[in-house]
Amino acid sequence: MADELVHYEVRRGIATITLDSPHNRNALSAQLRAELTGHLETATADDAVRVIVLSHTGPVFCSGMDLKEAGGASADQQGVNEFPAILRQLWTSPKPVVARLAGPARAGGVGLVAACDIAVAADTATFAFSEVRIGVVPAVISVTVLPRLLPRAAHELFLTGETFAAPKAVAIGLINSAVPADGLDAEVTRYTDMLALGAPTALAATKRMLQEPRSADLGEVFADMLALSARHFGGPEGQEGIAAFVGKRKPSWVPRDETGAED
């Protein structure tokens, strides 16, 4: 059996999924896609998991589709056919997903980053939509990337394939934060600690709300949002959160450490 290319670990409610295929720059090979899909399914189904972190080993986060596997394959045999399902898993996961990049992302790798709710990169990381330079189109990843990017930046970077740095990625909306490499893990932890304070059902509902299209009818939108708000105010989590606030204590969903103490 081939060595595992994607690792899975859960600690204190944080599921870390780590791409570990540095020999091909964490390219999206068939084996890596299958293992990533499986681990995302596991994390989503586990009630003990509050937040998912997508990380990597080696100098590159993800270089995109495995071009060695793509060479010589017909359109219906291309690995990219499986990629929308992975992006959908990340995009629709009821648990918030944080991307951790210590190195570059290219093409499909940038699609993974965009599909995550929050993305943190070392300030030395670089990005590129390199598809047009090898004669293909950044079509599948556009579904997750375009909602993140400023329109002018999308046209510039999709059409030129230019490599750009992490600070620019922040400026155009692709990632949330670019920090010195030695502060990367602390910045990821800062986000995961904040996300873990949110109520699980409320987080899932908020994520759906952010992604759903809205009617042009303002009255209809207010009616829908009022129903959503009232349902959660009166629901078990809302009532627990209100009681905790009044009682000056942490809500029941706040993670405990190994000793049982609240973090």
**pTM assigned to the model:** 0.93
Give Cβ neighbours of residue 197 (< 8 Å, ≥ 6 apart): 254
CA distances to 90, 92, 186, 188 from 168, rounded to whole Å, are 23, 26, 21, 19
Give the pLDDT of the chain (263 residues) as one tens digit per residue: 459 999 999 999 999 999 999 999 999 999 999 999 999 999 999 999 999 999 999 999 999 998 887 776 667 766 678 999 999 999 999 999 999 999 999 999 999 999 999 999 999 999 999 999 999 999 999 999 999 999 999 999 999 999 999 999 999 999 999 999 999 999 999 999 999 999 999 999 999 999 999 999 999 999 999 999 999 999 999 999 999 999 999 999 998 764 445 55
Compute the distance between CA of residue 164 and CA of residue 27 in angstroms, rounded to an integer.
Answer: 20
Q: 86 is written with which tokens?
A: 């992975």
Q: Are 5 and 21 in contact (CB under 8 A)?
A: yes
252: β partners: none
Please give the pLDDT value at position 74. 66
Q: What CATH number should be reported for the domain whose range is 6-195?
A: 3.90.226.10
Count the alpha carbons within 13 Å of 172 in the hemisphere toward its beta carbon.
21
Q: What is the 3-state secondary structure (H, E, C) of 32-90?
A: HHHHHHHHHHHHHHCCCCCEEEEEECCCCCECCECHHHHCCCCHHHCHHHHHHHHHHHH
Q: Tell me which residue of 82, 137, 138, 86 sits closest to 115, measured CA to CA.
A: 86
Q: Would you tell me how many other CB atoms lie within 10 Å of the CB of residue 152?
A: 9
Residues in the chain, overall count = 263
Task: Give the relative orientation of helices 236-246 and 200-211 as an angle to the nearest 10 degrees.
Answer: 120
Phi, psi torsion values for 15, nearest 5 degrees: -95, 120
Please give the pLDDT value at position 259. 41
The structural domains of the chain, with segments of one domain joined by +, span 6-195, 199-247
